[in-house]
Amino acid sequence: MDNPDASATRRSGRLAAIGTATVNKPVETVQTSKSTTQKNSTSNSLGSKGTKKPTPKNSKANAAKPGKEDTKKTTRMNLPVVEDQDEPAQKEAKNFLIPLLTEIEAVLTNFEGGHQGSHWYNDLKLRFHLLRDMPNNIEFRKDLADRAELKLPFDCPSQDDLAEGTASNYPLLEDKFKDLDRHREAIVRKGLEPVAPSAYCLRRAYISYQLDKRTAIRAGRPGPFSLPLELFHTAFRTYTGWALHKSDSFQGDDHFIELDRCVRTLQDTMPHFFATHDERQKAFLEALLEVFPQTDLYGWFQNEPADLLNPPYKRTKHKIDLVYLHKTTRIPLIFVEIKLEMGEGGDPFWQNNRLYQTFITSCPAVRKSGAPVFFLHISGMTFMHDNYFHISHFFSPGVHLGVGGAFCDAKDEPPVVQQLGGYVNLQYDFTGRNFDEGYRMIRALRHAIKEIPT
């Protein structure tokens, strides 16, 4: 693999060189001035990506026109929040049902005259009300496929059931019932689709996800202890070796200045409160560019799917916050998922898991090489899945950075996905331990990605 450190440039202005899969989109440089820092440091209780925050009753945000959804949500401080593209199950179910409910309402309205007392009309009206209230009882997308309101087909009434003098309208009614059943089948199919990454990371149904081969990962649960990633690929062995390597001084390291600047930038910016997810993402990328710069061969892509090696019409709809890849082969090296604050919007490590599954499903050819990928995840520290916490992390309000990895060693089996060590607190501390751990983590990742074949 070619050295991704070539042609490194100064940090300022490099965000403008970051492209997307189709068009180079300039990105504004993150403002880290003193005034912005002071403003962000007092902006607590902000909303998060994928999480709705109520606005005050006297806010102008509530003056939106009825029937139209706001594209920008506001926080308690009336700051815009970028929401996740995948919606909660109840709202998602409502959106799925809109075409079907619209068609039913059209039938009830246009065939109202002379048919109000007929059994088929009353049955259809009852089903309309049940379907309209159904989203309130949906907890997961898969529930849509199990609901009786959707499992039963829309059977067209016979011509004898029509009111006298309306027999000529029967072909119209028959076609409308075919439309109803087509919409119903489409909703059931959506209910059977694998869970979206943004819902998977909420982990409300971890057991059911693990029992579904399409969404399962080999992480040691359920079943025997999973083999460590270090046994599968040299990139993971390289990471672990460098992560565990300790020395009295870092100054003798290659690219010490870039590594030092990266970690100190993370400690300068990440503990602040950000108004939006995009602002935190830009600040995080600004720091990463010190060690993983934009070059002719390697680059960062924002809010794009991982399978950029596929033609556009074959790409998955699920997008990653940041992906670092080889520009020619489009082989991804690093997935980055970011949460605005700790615990908001689910766990970014598990979201990376699901994004990796969509990648190897969309690009089966990459399984031949094992498709080794590293994960970086900001915030999302929970008590549920990591055994490597420092006790101080349980009481720390700081933002935490973690590293994970994924490898696919079989054609049709779930991938191996694991955390690689614990989280690092990105706050300054008087012992310097947080800086040391962050430095070793980024240094290890820099060495490890060189081992990934592209």
Question: Quick count: other Cβ atoms within 10 Å of Cβ 20?
Answer: 13
Among the listed residues 389, 395, 379, 375, the one whose alpha carbon sits nearest the alpha carbon of residue 283: 379
Rg (CA), the chain: 26
Half-sphere exposure of 434 (CA within 13 A, CB side): 21
Length of the chain: 454
Q: Which two tokens stand for residue 274?
A: 């950000």
Going by C-alpha positions, the residue among 432, 339, 418 that lies closest to residue 381 is 339
Question: Which of 191, 155, 266, 197 is closest to 49 using CA atoms?
Answer: 197
CA neighbor of 190 nearest in space, from 283, 124, 96, 269: 96
Given this model, what pLDDT does residue 289 score? 95
The end-to-end CA distance of the chain, in Å, is 6
Give the C-alpha separation, 252 to 248, whole Å.
10
Q: What angle do CA 115, 157, 106 make, to 5 degrees?
A: 55
How many other β-carbons are positioned within 10 Å of the β-carbon of residue 57?
6
pLDDT at 208: 67
- Residue with structure tokens 């994924």? 406
Do the Cβ atoms of 341 and 398 come closer than 8 Å? Answer: no
* Strands (E) located in 169-317: 298-304
Residue 167 neighbours by CB under 8 Å, 6+ apart: 159
Helix boundaries (H) for 84-196:
89-110, 119-133, 148-151, 170-192
The domain spans of the chain are 89-192, 215-451
- pLDDT of 81 reads 34
For residue 144, the model assigns a pLDDT of 84
- Whole-structure pTM value: 0.63
Place of tokens 């081992």: 451
* One pLDDT digit (tens) per residue for the chain, 454 residues: 555 454 444 444 555 555 544 434 434 433 444 444 444 444 333 334 444 444 444 444 444 444 444 433 333 333 333 333 345 678 878 888 999 999 999 998 888 877 777 888 889 999 999 999 998 888 777 788 888 889 889 988 887 777 766 778 888 888 999 999 999 998 888 877 777 676 676 655 666 677 677 777 777 665 556 788 999 999 999 999 999 887 766 777 788 899 999 999 999 998 888 888 889 999 999 999 999 999 999 999 998 888 887 777 778 778 889 999 998 888 899 999 988 876 666 778 888 888 888 888 888 888 888 999 999 998 733 333 333 344 444 445 568 899 999 998 877 778 888 889 888 888 888 888 899 999 999 999 999 999 998 7
Cα 220 to the center of its chain, rounded Å: 23
